[in-house]
Amino acid sequence: MILIRQAITRVLSVFGYELCRLSPLERPTLPENVRLNYKDAQIYRALTAQGQLSIEGARFLSDLVRSCDPQRPIVEIGCLYGYSTQVVCLAKHPRQRLYSVDNFSWNSLGISRTAHLLATRKRLQEYIETQNVHLFEGSAEMFYSQYCDLAPALFFCDADHSYKAVTDDIAWAKSVGASIICGDDYAPQHQGVVAAVDENGGAHEVHGRVWRL
Ligand SMILES: C[S@@+](CC[C@H](N)C(=O)[O-])C[C@H]1O[C@@H](n2cnc3c(N)ncnc32)[C@H](O)[C@@H]1O
């Protein structure tokens, strides 16, 4: 059976075709009682991908961005597919620098690091070219060690949600004098975020999981 499948796969690949099927992890993310073909199913998954800001969180983040000093940069750690980056961009001054940092180590669609990076870079292309957005394709740690700009007007933290990582993110933001320190996922399912924020004086405000120290 395996040999037959391998032979069919090889013949199909000669003509540019691939044998595809949804994985058991992908099926529960699709609507029930409707059968979608493979292409439609994957596009449905991409358009409804999880792991991004809620609308309430996005509104709060926009308010914070609008209130920050436009002369100084904004730093975002964890952009995923660029949704929060776009939210920040819509609220910031067009010339205000925005550093968006991601090492592309995780995504909610289960795509490769390369596909994730290329798709996010493409999605943010216009922002990078016209809105003073700088996409840093590396880890938060690497970014912190190279940072040599002004004290951030706003630091938005939404990358590794472990207690240690969030503690380190907040410590760096404080050490460089960030005026507004905020992030996503202050929620019971992210105990690392909650503990790190609480240890740093607690959330002054939380809207739709977005916290601000
Ligand atoms: C929850 S998602 C960010 C969601 C995004 N802020 C939004 O609302 O649209 C977390 C992102 O952080 C990235 N990430 C995780 N650990 C990281 C690290 N140490 N340095 C940089 N990025 C990291 C992952 O690759 C992922 O894209």
Consecutive 10-residue averages of pLDDT for the chain (213 residues) = 84 86 87 90 94 96 98 98 98 97 96 97 97 98 97 98 98 98 97 98 96 98
For ligand 1, say whether the CB of 52 is within 6 Å of any of its atoms: yes
For ligand 1, say whether the CB of 193 is within 6 Å of any of its atoms: no
For ligand 1, say whether the CB of 84 is within 6 Å of any of its atoms: yes
| pTM greater than 0.85 | yes
For ligand 1, say whether the CB of 83 is within 6 Å of any of its atoms: yes
Bridge-based pairing of strands 180-183 and 205-207 is unpaired
- Rounded Cα–Cα distance for residues 96 and 119 (Å): 24
Q: In the chain, which residues fall in CATH 3.40.50.150?
A: 55-212
- Rounded Cα–Cα distance for residues 112 and 130 (Å): 28
Beta-carbon count within 10 A of 121 CB: 15
- Ligand 1 centroid, distance to 210 Cα (angstroms): 15
pLDDT of residue 21: 83
In 3D space, the residue among 68, 29, 72, 61 whose CA is nearest the CA of residue 47 turns out to be 29
CATH number for the 55-212 domain, one of 3.40.50.720, 3.40.50.150, 3.40.50.1980, 3.30.710.10?
A: 3.40.50.150
pLDDT of residue 18: 81
- Ligand 1 centroid, distance to 80 Cα (angstroms): 5
